[in-house]
Amino acid sequence: MRVLVTGSAGQLGQDILFLLKQHGYEVMGCDRQEMDITDLEQTKAVIGGYVPDAVIHCAAHTAVDAAETDIDIAYLINATGSRNVALAAEKVGAKLVYISTDYVFNGLGSNPYHEYDNTDPQSIYGKSKRAGEMLVQSLSSKYFIVRTSWVYGKYGNNFVKTMLKLGQEKPLLQVVDDQKGSPTYTVDLARFLTELIQTEKYGVYHASNTESCTWYEFSQAIFAEAEDILHLKFTAKLEPCATEQFPRPAPRPRYSVMEHLSIRTNGFQDLRPWREGLRDFLYDLLED
C-alpha cells in the first residue's frame, strides 16, 4: 500500500511516517518544501505523480492565537489547502484522512461530544478546520475525518515538553484548572490511523487517548510520572488557576472531551487511557 503524508515534518506527521515504514508501507512524506498544499496545480502534480492508495493529511495552520489575526492564512492552509489535497486525492482514487480538532465544538457542554453532534467553533482556528472538514466531505468519496485533542509527541514543541522544562526552572507554575479534555500521544493516534487506512469504514471519528483531565491535573501527572521515570527534580510549585487569569486572543474550549462512538460502532479497538500514553512518551524520551 502506498501512502502519502502531508505535514510530514510535524509532530504527528513524523510519528506516522516512522510507523508506516515499520509496517512495510511504501511512504512518501511531504512537507512545505516538497508540496505546497495552497498551490492546487502543484498538489495535483505531486499526488498525481505518486498515485498513493491513501493520503494522510496532517498539514495545518495550528497557531491558534495567531490565526485570530492571520485569518486569510488560516483559511488558505486549513480550508483551501485541504480542498486542494481532497481534489488531488480524489483524482487518483486515494482514500483521504483529514486530521481535525476538538476546536470544531464550542466547548460549552458538559457531556462528551460525539461525532454527529452539531459543530460550533468559536475561534478562527476552529472555524477554518471545520471549513476543511466540509470541503473534504463534499469533494472526497473515500474520506476519514479524525478529530483529536491535546496532542503531544517526541517531535516539535508541546505542552508536556514545556512543563518538563519550566518545572525545573520556575519556582511557581499556574496552570488552568477549568478546561477539561483528553491528552493524546501522537504514537497512539498514529497507530489508529495506520489501522484505519486499511479499511473502507469511512466517516467521522473522534480519536484521543481515553479518560480526561484538566490542564492542571495533566501537569500534576507529568511531574509525578517524570520524577518516577526520568528521575527529574522539579523546583516549581503547581497552582491551579482560572482561564480568565491568562487571557489569550483565541477562546479555548472549556470542555472538549470527545466520545469515541465511531471507533466502537466500527469495531476498532479504542485508544488507551491518557496516563498510559504519557508514561510511554516519557520512556521514549528516556531512550533518546
Q: Which of 50, 98, 103, 125 is catalytic?
A: 125
Element (H, E) at 195: helix 186-196
**Cα atoms found within 13 Å of the Cα of residue 180, Cβ hemisphere only:** 14
To the nearest 10 degrees (0 to 180), the angle between helices 124-139 and 81-91 is 20
The three-state secondary structure class of 276 is helix
Please say if 143 is a catalytic residue.
no
* Cα–Cα distance, 179 to 83 (Å, whole number): 32
Catalytic residue ranges:
125
